[in-house]
Structure 1
Amino acid sequence: MSSTQPPPEIPSANPIDPVEHDYFTLNPAPASLQKHTSLARDFITTHASAGRRVVLVTSGGTTVPLERQTVRFIDNFSAGTRGATSAEYFLEAGYAVIFLYREFSLLPYSRHYSHATNCFLDFLHEGPNGSVLAREEYTEKMLAVLRKYQAAKRDNLLLTIPFVTINDYLFILRSIAQLMRPLGPSGLLYLAAAVSDFFVPNERMVEHKIQSTDASPNIRPQGAEDRQDQGQQDDEAFDNFDSSPLIPRSKRLVIDLDPVPKFLKNLVDGWAPEGMIVSFKLETDPEILVSKARYSLERYQHHLVIGNLLVTRKWEVVFVARSEEGEGIREEWIRVPRRRKTLSKIDIEVDREGGREDGGEKGKERPLDPKDLPDYEPEIEIESLIIPAVKKLHDTYIQRNTRES
């Protein structure tokens, strides 16, 4: 099939889900969907023919536009560090990687310089005859990164596909997940993107920029309401300015957001029912981290939920998954060693701690206290521990599903 032809829609294995039908019918598909779907199809076909595993890594945050011609939007803090770093380690582990990332967030390999405290130009200097050279102190590392990047591109092992909005993300995720269905258990979905929980449905979104002032007599600020139509008590119920001088309601912007439909279960039920699915749960409260990860595992039936706390996410994560026997849930903490010295394999495995089985309090692990963390960055990237552990679980998943089939 020519990549210029629009790719046919792959029917869902669960076509009667009304929420899925309504969302993907009422909201417009991104203009780039056909192009990106064709690229993903060719990429998956190539590596499936070679017997290579394919992983879809999602990365970065999704925006929530407030207007169709978007000027204002809601965003989150994610720079895509987890996803971009994980993609590199998946490539090292022998996977072909589809990297679905927020446009302008971090990319594999270039992240080493675009996210550095130094400006990228600080790594370079002018050589003889106007040539551009890497500074001597950075040359060895830059060469190693460059060689890995060039190898991934040369062997067509890395496909990057951008998104911006929550709508872009959901449409492209569904299309790629459906394309991965023929991979069966060899397909892996590693969902590290920070996905918005709320959005403005297309039918309620205004076309033009929301006005902040009624400078023109014919302009009424979007969201302004006639105070005469509402009692003072109703205004106060929505008043976020109690501690400041009264601001006229016509000057406020009240945004009414709907919850984004939860399609995480659809990945299992229809989009990629035989693939292994890994999702993340980020929290700020250590008291609820594990319970929320366990709840996600049960609710969405993914194969692994990786829990992490905002302040300790570079130092530790917790794997929450069903035991190999399929009965009960197991927790396993993976931690970066907290000491400055050359790390060996023994050092790493000492800090990889097995957790508890269902319900058992004995040996229960607690999240690290941020006050106990060193005042320096981890000496190794925690993704260098996460990805081998995920691959090991994927090995087991493939073996089990191959036997059952």
Structure 2
Amino acid sequence: MAPEPNSEEDAYFDHNPPPSRTTLARHLALARAFIARHAAASPPRRVVLVTSGGTTVPLENQTVRFIDNFSAGTRGATSAEHFLRAGYAVIFLHRQFSLLPFSRHYSHNTNCFLDFLTTTPSAASAGNEKTQEQVVVQQQHQRKMAAVLREYQRARADDALLLLPFVSIAEYLWHLRELARALQPLGGAALFYLAAAVSDFFVPRERMAEHKIQSSEEFSAVAAAAGAGEVVPAARMAGKALVIDLDPVPKFLKRLVDGWAPAAMIVSFKLETDPAILTQKAEYALKKYAHHLVIGNLLSTRKWEVVFVSVLEGEKWIRVPRRRRTKSSSGVEALVGKAAAAESLKASPGSLEDGPQKDANEEEVDISEDGEPLVEIESLIIPEVKRLHEEFIARNSHR
């Protein structure tokens, strides 16, 4: 039986159309063809929708000013690579210009990408005394870049990676709903990995200023007079102050389970800054939205530890061993373990905390001071998600 319509959620789509229906239609056509190809493969290939990066909240219809967050899309882009290694086809719904799988190794770097390159003269061609310069990768970077390039080319050759960009909160939500519906035919073989940093607040279309909000008192007064009698914009100048009245974004996470993708496995994230409430908030989100797995992480330790909270397995911490942790300018390593309850600090037999994890492609990872490979936590997260997804499929196949 189909779930009852949720008036608040349905009203959002009724009153907040996508910025470009043409773009949405084009992306949806690409996604449907991508899904159909992998569903028809022998054997059929599982498809994961990875969302990544932050959403903007426009303050004007002709957008100049907007609210944004700091997310660069590191978790999503890194996870997408590991999903590809695990055999999934990946639809990567990402914030435009945020990090992408594979190119992230060079675009999210303190060095300019051009610093990895150099030029070298080639031999003069017959009948041509002038030598032609060639652009090549510097020797010290060739091994790692070649490994990254091979993986990228393999993903392209297998048609296993579909990149779909979004910018605003409206674009993201429209894409999420339509892609979820497109994935329905896959049933339990579809996986949602919701790593995007989605805004909790937005400006409704009917309360959005048409033109750029004027910071000058004189021009803001003129704009206010011109719009007299209309709905007061949610973002406006009031004297010398900018006033912004935001509405909460309807909680669509439950809708994924109830209507958009009822047979798929849903994995969502909970980011917090307070170690004392992280696990509680993850458990709360699990019950409220009926997702199958909530991955909790602290802002200060997210590159080194996460907590899995699921109905079947309860609470499970995954940590990168201390000597294998990648560096983080914003991380606070002293806080690792602070969010865990005392009993969860005791690693169970076979726990991922027992020792260094062997990376399948050691040539592709950086090396720690003692000569051992550093470990991205996503290389530990994705195998666990895959295991849970396999159990999810097996369990539901017997129903």
TM-score range, shorter chain: 0.7 to 0.9
User: Quick one: percent identity of the two aligned structures?
Assistant: 63
Q: Distance in 2 between matches of 1:39 and 1:278?
A: 23
The alignment status of 1:42 with 2:48, answered yes or no, reads no
Aligned to 1:208, the other structure's residue is in SS state coil
1:141 matched to 2:136: no
- Provide Cα deviations, 1:221-241, integer angstroms capped at 9, x if missing partner: 69x99xxxxxxxxxxxxxxxx
Measure the CA separation in 2 of the matches of 1:36 and 1:14.
27
Whether contact under 8 Å (2:266, 2:292) holds in the other structure is yes
Are 1:29 and 1:171, in contact at CA under 8 Å, matched by a contact in 2? yes
Task: Give the 3-state SS of the residue equivalent to 1:100 in structure 2.
Answer: strand
Structure 1 unaligned blocks of 5 or more: 1-11, 226-247, 325-329, 342-352, 367-375
Q: Extract structure 1 runs of 4+ deviating beyond 2 A.
A: 12-15, 214-218
- Give me the whole-angstrom Cα distance separating, in 1, the residues matched to 2:95 and 2:3: 28
- Once residues 219 and 109 of structure 2 are traced to their aligned partners in structure 1, the CA distance between those partners, rounded to angstroms, is 46
Are 1:113 and 2:93 counterparts?
no
1:154 paired with 2:157, answer yes
1:98 matches 2:91: yes
- 1:269-280 matches, cutoff 5 A: 269-280=258-269
Cα drift, residue 364 of structure 1? 3.5
- Where do residues 213-224 of structure 1 align in structure 2 (5 Å cutoff)? 213-216=216-219, 219-220=222-223
Match of 1:191 in 2: 194
Aligned 1:113-132 pairs, distance under 5 A: 113-128=106-121, 129-132=132-135
Match of 1:294 in 2: 283
Q: Which letter does structure 1 place at the counterpart of 2:244?
A: I
Over aligned residue pairs, what C-alpha RMSD do you find? 2.4
Measured against aligned partners, the alpha-carbon deviations of 1:245-295 in whole angstroms (never above 9, x if no partner) come to xxx951111100000000000000000000000000000000000000000
Relative to the length of structure 2, the TM-score reads 0.81
1:52 aligns to what SS in structure 2? Answer: coil
Contact 1:109 1:146 in 2 (8 A): yes
Asked if residue 58 in structure 1 is aligned to residue 51 in structure 2, the reply is yes
1:299–1:340 distance in 2 versus 1, CA, 3 Å: closer
SS of equivalent to 2:187: helix
Q: How does 1:13-52 map to 2 (within 5 A)?
A: 13-14=2-3, 16-31=5-20, 32-50=23-41, 51-52=44-45
8 Å Cα contact 1:214-1:221 kept in structure 2: no
Aligned AA (1:385) = L
2:351 alignment counterpart:
none
Alignment CA distance shift 1:132-1:259 (3 Å): same
Partner in structure 1 of residue 329 of structure 2: none
CA change 1:294–1:135 in 2 (3 A) is same
In the alignment, is the contact (CA less than 8 A) between 1:56 and 1:97 conserved in 2? yes
Counting only pairs closer than 5 Å after superposition, residues 204-283 of structure 1 correspond to structure 2 as 204-216=207-219, 219-220=222-223, 249-283=238-272
2:343 matched to which residue of 1?
363
Contact 2:214 2:220 in 1 (8 A): no
Q: Cα distance, 1:154 vs. partner?
A: 1.2
Paired residues in the alignment total 340
Aligned amino acid, residue 28 of structure 2:
T
One of 388, 391, 396 as aligned partner of 1:396: 391
State the 1:16 CA deviation: 1.8
| CA apart distance, 1:64 | 0.3
TM-score, length-scaled by structure 1: 0.80
